[in-house]
Amino acid sequence: MAGCEDKKLQAYPNELAGVGVVVQSTDQGHTIASIIPGGPAAAAGLSVGDRIVAVDGSPTGGRPLASVVNALRGREGSEVVLKVASAKGDSIVTLQRKLLARNGDGYKPQ
Protein backbone atom coordinates (compact mmCIF):
# COMPACT_ATOMS: atom_id res chain seq x y z
CA MET A 1 0.00 0.00 0.00
CA ALA A 2 2.89 2.37 0.67
CA GLY A 3 3.97 2.12 -2.98
CA CYS A 4 0.55 3.37 -4.07
CA GLU A 5 0.81 6.34 -1.71
CA ASP A 6 4.33 7.11 -2.99
CA LYS A 7 3.03 7.20 -6.59
CA LYS A 8 0.23 9.56 -5.52
CA LEU A 9 2.74 11.92 -3.91
CA GLN A 10 4.87 11.89 -7.08
CA ALA A 11 1.80 12.66 -9.21
CA TYR A 12 0.97 15.60 -6.93
CA PRO A 13 4.23 17.41 -6.08
CA ASN A 14 4.39 20.03 -3.33
CA GLU A 15 5.05 22.74 -5.93
CA LEU A 16 4.60 22.99 -9.66
CA ALA A 17 4.41 25.71 -12.28
CA GLY A 18 1.20 25.61 -14.25
CA VAL A 19 -1.84 27.54 -15.40
CA GLY A 20 -4.08 26.78 -12.42
CA VAL A 21 -6.58 24.26 -13.80
CA VAL A 22 -7.59 20.71 -13.04
CA VAL A 23 -8.27 18.88 -16.31
CA GLN A 24 -10.43 15.81 -16.85
CA SER A 25 -11.05 13.58 -19.85
CA THR A 26 -14.66 13.40 -21.01
CA ASP A 27 -16.48 12.19 -24.10
CA GLN A 28 -16.12 15.77 -25.40
CA GLY A 29 -12.36 15.82 -24.88
CA HIS A 30 -10.13 17.33 -22.20
CA THR A 31 -12.19 19.78 -20.16
CA ILE A 32 -11.50 22.07 -17.23
CA ALA A 33 -12.90 20.41 -14.10
CA SER A 34 -11.90 23.19 -11.71
CA ILE A 35 -9.94 26.41 -11.65
CA ILE A 36 -7.55 27.49 -8.92
CA PRO A 37 -8.61 30.94 -7.66
CA GLY A 38 -5.91 33.53 -8.30
CA GLY A 39 -4.17 31.40 -10.91
CA PRO A 40 -3.44 32.32 -14.53
CA ALA A 41 -6.53 30.56 -15.93
CA ALA A 42 -8.81 32.37 -13.50
CA ALA A 43 -7.25 35.71 -14.41
CA ALA A 44 -7.79 34.94 -18.11
CA GLY A 45 -11.49 34.22 -17.56
CA LEU A 46 -11.44 30.51 -18.35
CA SER A 47 -14.38 28.54 -16.96
CA VAL A 48 -15.20 25.08 -15.68
CA GLY A 49 -16.41 23.04 -18.64
CA ASP A 50 -14.23 24.84 -21.20
CA ARG A 51 -12.60 22.31 -23.51
CA ILE A 52 -8.85 22.51 -24.14
CA VAL A 53 -8.57 21.88 -27.89
CA ALA A 54 -4.82 22.52 -28.31
CA VAL A 55 -1.75 23.35 -26.23
CA ASP A 56 1.00 25.33 -27.97
CA GLY A 57 -0.57 24.50 -31.33
CA SER A 58 -0.64 20.75 -30.68
CA PRO A 59 -4.19 19.30 -30.75
CA THR A 60 -5.27 17.51 -27.57
CA GLY A 61 -7.76 15.16 -29.23
CA GLY A 62 -6.72 11.55 -28.79
CA ARG A 63 -3.89 12.44 -26.38
CA PRO A 64 -3.77 10.82 -22.94
CA LEU A 65 -4.79 13.07 -20.06
CA ALA A 66 -1.28 12.91 -18.56
CA SER A 67 0.19 14.24 -21.81
CA VAL A 68 -2.14 17.25 -21.78
CA VAL A 69 -1.46 17.94 -18.09
CA ASN A 70 2.30 17.76 -18.66
CA ALA A 71 1.99 20.21 -21.57
CA LEU A 72 0.21 22.69 -19.28
CA ARG A 73 3.01 22.50 -16.72
CA GLY A 74 6.44 23.97 -17.30
CA ARG A 75 8.98 26.47 -16.10
CA GLU A 76 7.66 29.24 -13.88
CA GLY A 77 7.14 32.40 -15.93
CA SER A 78 7.10 30.58 -19.26
CA GLU A 79 4.13 31.04 -21.59
CA VAL A 80 1.73 28.45 -22.93
CA VAL A 81 -0.87 29.08 -25.64
CA LEU A 82 -4.22 27.32 -25.33
CA LYS A 83 -6.98 26.96 -27.87
CA VAL A 84 -10.16 26.71 -25.83
CA ALA A 85 -13.70 25.88 -26.88
CA SER A 86 -16.43 27.22 -24.64
CA ALA A 87 -20.10 28.17 -24.74
CA LYS A 88 -18.89 31.63 -25.85
CA GLY A 89 -17.01 30.15 -28.84
CA ASP A 90 -13.40 29.24 -29.59
CA SER A 91 -10.57 31.42 -28.33
CA ILE A 92 -6.78 31.48 -28.19
CA VAL A 93 -5.43 32.34 -24.75
CA THR A 94 -1.79 32.93 -23.81
CA LEU A 95 -1.08 32.21 -20.16
CA GLN A 96 2.06 32.65 -18.10
CA ARG A 97 2.77 29.67 -15.87
CA LYS A 98 2.79 30.50 -12.20
CA LEU A 99 4.23 28.64 -9.22
CA LEU A 100 1.47 26.76 -7.38
CA ALA A 101 1.90 25.16 -3.94
CA ARG A 102 -0.03 22.28 -2.41
CA ASN A 103 -2.79 23.37 -0.09
CA GLY A 104 -4.46 20.29 1.43
CA ASP A 105 -6.04 18.39 -1.48
CA GLY A 106 -5.41 21.15 -4.03
CA TYR A 107 -3.06 23.95 -5.01
CA LYS A 108 -2.91 27.71 -4.49
CA PRO A 109 -0.84 30.39 -6.24
CA GLN A 110 2.43 31.37 -4.56
Q: How many CB atoms within 10 Å of residue 101?
A: 12
Quick: pLDDT tens for 32-79.
999 999 899 999 999 999 999 999 999 999 999 999 999 999 999 999
Provide the domain limits for residue 98. 2-109
Higher pLDDT, 12 or 32: 32
What CATH number corresponds to the domain at position 52?
Answer: 2.30.42.10
Number of domains in the chain: 1
Per-residue model confidence (pLDDT) at position 104: 54
Per-residue model confidence (pLDDT) at position 84: 97
Three-state DSSP class for 65?
Answer: helix
Burial of 4-28, coded b for 16+ CB within 10 Å and e otherwise, reads eeeeeeeeeeeebbbbbbbbeeeee
Q: Please report which confidence band the pLDDT of residue 100 belongs to, taking 50, 70 and 90 as the band edges.
A: confident
Check whether 86 has a pLDDT greater than 50: yes
